[in-house]
Amino acid sequence: MKTPSRIAMKMFVSALKNKKDATEKEKVMAEKMASSYDISDIKYIEPIVMYLGEKDNEKAV
């Protein structure tokens, strides 16, 4: 994420954390967004890469 986006995200998380009447959902969301995490799984990405590779090969022929 680029710097302006990171700053905006930190401001948003800070606003959520400081909200006085935050719902439980908002509290959990602030906690999740406060730390960096990656929930991607290679098993979902591989078929996309294979598909795009096939399309690229079709154009080359």
Tokens of 31: 């906690």
Kindly report the backbone phi and psi dihedral angles of residue 22, in degrees, each rounded to the nearest multiple of 5, phi listed first: -70, 140
Q: Are 30 and 16 in contact (CB under 8 A)?
A: yes
Tokens of 27: 């509290």
3-state secondary structure of 55: helix
* pLDDT block averages, 10 residues each, the chain of length 61: 86 88 88 76 89 80 63
pLDDT for position 35: 79
Q: Which residue has the tokens 């990656």?
A: 38
pLDDT for position 51: 92
